[in-house]
Chain A
Amino acid sequence: MDRPTHTELRLADRLRIERAVWTLNAHLDNLPNRAKRARRRETRANLYAAAAEVGAAEAIRGLGDLRRLAAEYRTAEYGETGPQPSYSGAVVGLLLVQVAASAFMQGGTHAFVAGLLAAAPDATGTFQWSGIPYLTAPVTVTAVDGTQRTAGGAFTSLFYLLWLAAFVLGGRLWRLLPTWRRWRAGDAAAPAPGV
């Protein structure tokens, strides 16, 4: 008996297969787009072949838990012990940089005020610390009879632009690390870094 062809699969079965393919794709969210596309294509082709033999429902069941399958694919992509991408890790990293930069600015402002008080304890007037050129606005210290008020020091748009760019760039670059390690270990069959 001839196997049913692509077009002979019922619409409902094709929709079930597409749902499984895209559910798997959703769990592969940390894989590079190239790898995700390849997995979608291959999974779809295998499901069509399996559905022709055992039906769409059984073919999909054969994949097992799609979340687990996606985890296996991630391990295949990055290795057992290699770092794996994590959006929550990226968010924590972004926040840590923000906190560290804020702490640095606060420390700088305190140091500037402390220096000012050391030089002239009863200083009166407006004093300015330039902050970090291009990355923060200047900090203005208004001193009146020994009391000080500070204003400014906000991060500039350039800071936030660099902040995001560094994470986007870093997020892409570290994905080359496993390939780079294999290449350095002399695995001639591994594609060279940058591929």
Chain B
Amino acid sequence: MNQIHDPQLLKGVLSPLLLWLLAERESYGYELVQRLRQIGLTGIADGTVYPALARLEREGRVSTRLVASRSGPARKYYRPTDDGYAALTESTGNWLSLTEIVSPVLARPVPPQPAPPAEEN
């Protein structure tokens, strides 16, 4: 699967992706990094995901709880709040409607050279 290399593009979809993964299963920070890599974002850095989680928490879109761990300090698990679910629904709709417009255009073969302006025809 292709990697997303453009950090700006990734930044735009990271929040809904995180909310979706958390809606599927409560997770802590590093576990979410692993899950993102499993779905194909193999190049995603831990340092990109943790601040995104902090932002979601600050915006009240996820709630957290500490769970004791056998393999280290207690882990902070995240799950979406009602606001998080609402944000996820909204951004999913936005994303799908955007890709519906953009994908058919970008899927076409790139023209070898631009056509002359309409006025010259």
Contact = CB atoms under 8 A, between A and B. Distances in A.
Interface string A35-71: 0001101111110111011000001001111001100
Interface size bucket, B side?
20 to 34
* Consensus secondary structure, chain A interface: helix
A59 B50 CA distance: 13
A189 B59 contact: yes
Interface stretch (A2-10, A97-105, A124-132): A2-10
A4 B46 contact: no
Contact of A73 (B33, B48, B51, B69): B51
A169 interface: no
A73 B61 CA distance: 16
A46 B51 contact: no
A108 B75 CA distance: 61
Interface string B22-39: 000000111101100000
Nearest to A49: B30
B40 to A, nearest CB: 18
Contacts of A188: 60, 83
A14 to B, nearest CB: 10
B71 A6 contact: yes
B87 to A, nearest CB: 10
Contact of A44 (B45, B48, B73): B73
Contact of B58 (A42, A46, A64, A77): A77
Contacts of A122: none
Given A46-B28, A64-B45, A68-B47, A6 B73 contact: yes
10 contacts: A45-B73, A49-B75, A52-B71, A62-B45, A65-B47, A72-B51, A73-B54, A189-B83, A190-B59, A191-B60
Interface of A: 3-6, 9, 38-39, 41-46, 48-50, 52-53, 59, 62-65, 68-69, 72-73, 75-77, 182, 187-191
Interface of B: 28-31, 33-34, 45-48, 50-52, 54-55, 58-61, 69-76, 81-83
What 3 A-B pairs come out closest when comparing CB atoms? A189-B60, A48-B72, A72-B51
Given A64-B47, A75-B51, 4 more contacts: A6-B72, A38-B76, A45-B76, A63-B50
